[in-house]
Amino acid sequence: MAMLAEGVITELNRKSPNYSKMVEEVVKMEKKIFPKHESLSRSFDDELSKKNAGLLYAYVNGEVAGYAMYSCPTSLQALISKLAVKEKYRRQGYGEALLREAIRKCQTRKIQRISLHVDPSRTPAVDLYKKLGFRIDSLVAKYYSADRDAYRMYLDLSTSE
């Protein structure tokens, strides 16, 4: 569990008494932040039931300020599938704290590479990923929709700090 100046980064546990409440808050954020066709709101519980998936959330002032979802499809590779922070909590370090904790969780599993996709027009997100060592692998045309591409980015843990 990572601490921030205000708030805590916690991994959501299905056995936790507040599991349903946290999933509900994350789903609300998901619907508000991501376009419908990119949202996992309908399948969040299914995604989290997978043995190799995890969800970290920042809890601030009695609410979920942001979350990061990751999965480890193989024993050597992980995927950051979502990173989102509520508008009022942006530019305060929550996204970075969530991403750092997701990277740390992957390191404890001996993961060698973490990958993700990000819309190139989401400059703050791209800059955050670069700040933490992610590199652009390629531009994936029409990844999100016919008129929206994505950068595929990666972080090699075997060569990072």
Output the DSSP codes for 60-80.
ETTEEEEEEEEE-SSSSEEEE
156 assigned to some structural domain: no
Provide the pLDDT confidence category of residue 42 given band limits of 50, 70 and 90: low
66 assigned to some structural domain: yes
136 assigned to some structural domain: no
126 assigned to some structural domain: no
Which domain CATH number covers 58?
3.40.630.30
Q: Is the pLDDT score of 1 beyond 60? A: no
84 assigned to some structural domain: yes
Q: Is the pLDDT score of 40 beyond 70? A: no
Task: Give the chain's domain count.
Answer: 1
82 assigned to some structural domain: yes
Query: Residue 77 is part of which domain span?
Result: 2-111
Q: Is the pLDDT score of 133 beyond 90? A: yes
